[in-house]
Amino acid sequence: MGLQRVVRSCVVDAPIERVWEVLRDFNSHDQWHTVVAQSAIEDQKTSDRVGCVRNFTLADGNHVREMLLSLSDKDYVSTYTIVEATVPLMRYVATVTLKPVTDG
């Protein structure tokens, strides 16, 4: 099977800087994502360091380890990949990009 690409977008009614403050923390998803039960960064690295690995448990008991590949405060972009998982995902790379929306 070839590579699959999925694009999802949404509008968050908040300033881009505030949204980025939450999302740039690679270990914050257990605070806002309903399927993430708990999460921790391995090896006492900071959650904004490229190469850090977050190890988390989903609400259904599955485990996932993801590595932060890039983080740009200037462009509001982060990219990460799954390095190990008990869910059926392979060669998974995700990029989160924030863009300001105006009523223009």
Give the helix/strand (H/E) hosting 83: strand 77-85
The model's pLDDT over 32-89, given as tens digits with 9 standing for 90+, comes to: 999 999 999 999 999 999 999 999 999 999 999 999 999 999 999 999 999 999 999 8
Q: Is residue 104 part of a domain?
A: no
pLDDT, position 83: 97
Residue 66's CATH number: 3.30.530.20
Q: Is the pLDDT of residue 2 over 80?
A: no
Q: Is residue 27 part of a domain?
A: yes
C-beta of residue 53 within 8 angstroms of C-beta of residue 42:
yes
Q: Is residue 9 part of a domain?
A: no
Q: Which of 84, 97, 83 lies closest to 23, judged by CA?
A: 97
Verdict on whether the full-model pTM lies above 0.75: yes
Coil/strand/helix, residue 34: coil
pLDDT, position 101: 87
The parent domain of residue 85 ranges over 16-97
Q: Is residue 58 part of a domain?
A: yes
Q: Is residue 4 part of a domain?
A: no
Q: Is residue 103 part of a domain?
A: no
Q: Which residues pair with 96 in a beta bridge?
A: 78
